[in-house]
């Protein structure tokens, strides 16, 4: 059974979520009051298998602590080289449907190369979290040319080309408006030849602004429970929390992280 550390032991929402997790017995919550460097060291030393933090801390603090203490996955970097790290949110709607959104927490204005990296990081996690084949839509104000010419569209198309060249197995399409991505009737009308339109379960946003706004809108107006942000690309499994997370959101976040350990 995976051990998941909750370093903000004093928080009453954390305590309530941990009680639920213990009652279900699908992971072993470890509640220990400690700062982020110590929590990261416990994770690095193998005392725990994953960490959920951030209920009372800005996401930036959690992300930078993980970057500086844990490091990023992959081979050693050459001087001046930077590796992309990312995040995802999982939205669960009242009818039980789940959809993944990324990146809404780490990469402010990604390049086409970073967007391609984000797709690949999120795809790998989505396979394990969703339990079904991810269908990836690259979101935009335009659907397959309907918006005319724009640098943001060019960036999305270049990113898709990179993904196709590196991971031809990923079912990805775009650029695509949100309604065309998730509504079958609209998807068939706007993108009749697409295998993703109307059926997308992974939504890749063009920048952190749109991702943050989208997930909070789903939470506040769509009554969705939100897991995450779950951080991707680090050497150990970590989930951040929104400071507005509910008890249910914390429990859901731990469940999703548990699938990635």
Residue showing tokens 């339990």: 131
**pLDDT recorded at residue 256:** 96
* pLDDT tens digits for range 29-41: 999 999 999 999 9
**81-229: CATH architecture:** 3-Layer(aba) Sandwich (3.40)
Q: CA-to-CA distance for 122 and 12, rounded, in angstroms?
A: 31
Q: What is the mean pLDDT of each run of 10 residues along the chain (261 residues)?
A: 94 95 94 92 94 92 89 64 85 95 91 94 95 95 91 95 95 96 96 95 96 94 94 93 93 96 93
Same fold, 1-71+234-261 and 81-229: yes
Q: How far apart are CA 211 and CA 216, in angstroms?
A: 9
Q: Could you tell me if 99 and 164 are in contact, meaning their C-beta atoms sit under 8 angstroms apart?
A: no
Paired residues of 234 in beta bridges = 72
Rounded to an integer, what is the distance from CA 111 to the centroid of its chain? 18
Q: Please report, for the chain, the start and end positions of each structural domain, with discontinuous segments joined by +.
A: 1-71+234-261, 81-229
What is the predicted pLDDT for the residue at 59?
87
Cβ pair 23, 215 in contact under 8 A: no
> Is the whole-model pTM more than 0.95?
no
Q: What is the pLDDT of residues 103-151, one digit of tens each?
A: 988 889 999 999 999 999 999 999 999 989 999 999 999 999 898 889 9
Question: What is each CA distance from 56 to 5, 6, 31, 136, in whole angstroms?
Answer: 15, 12, 15, 32
Euclidean distance between CA atoms 86 and 230, whole angstroms:
9
Among 81, 61, 84, 60, CA closest to 72? 84
The yes/no answer on whether domain 1-71+234-261 falls in CATH 3.30.450.20 is no
Tokens describing residue 103: 């990146």
Q: Is 11 left (phi over 0), alpha (psi -120 to 50) or beta?
A: beta
């Amino acid at each position: 059974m995976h051990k998941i550390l909750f370093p903000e032991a004093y928080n009453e929402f954390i305590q309530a979520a941990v009680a639920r997790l213990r009652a279900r017995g699908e992971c072993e919550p470890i509640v220990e009051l400690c700062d982020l460097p110590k929590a990261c060291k416990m994770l690095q030393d193998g005392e725990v298998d994953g960490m959920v933090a951030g209920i009372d801390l800005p996401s930036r603090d959690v992300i930078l602590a993980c970057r500086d203490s844990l490091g990023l996955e992959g081979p050693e970097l050459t001087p001046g080289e930077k590796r992309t790290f990312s995040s995802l949110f999982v939205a669960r709607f009242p009818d039980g449907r789940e959809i993944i959104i990324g990146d809404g927490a780490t990469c402010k204005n990604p390049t086409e190369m970073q967007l391609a990296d984000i797709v690949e990081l999120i795809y790998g996690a989505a396979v394990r979290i969703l339990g079904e084949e991810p269908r990836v839509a690259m979101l935009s104000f335009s659907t397959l040319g309907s918006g005319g010419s724009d640098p943001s569209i060019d960036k999305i198309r270049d990113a898709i080309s990179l993904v196709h060249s590196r991971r031809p197995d990923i079912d990805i399409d775009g650029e695509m408006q949100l309604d065309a991505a998730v509504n079958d009737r609209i998807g068939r009308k706007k993108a009749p030849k697409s295998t993703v339109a109307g059926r997308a379960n992974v939504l890749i946003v063009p920048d952190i602004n749109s991702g943050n706004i989208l997930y909070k809108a789903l939470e506040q107006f769509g009554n969705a429970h939100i897991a995450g942000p779950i951080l991707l690309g680090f050497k150990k499994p970590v989930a951040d929390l929104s400071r507005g997370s509910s008890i249910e959101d914390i429990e859901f976040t731990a469940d999703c992280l548990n699938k990635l350990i």
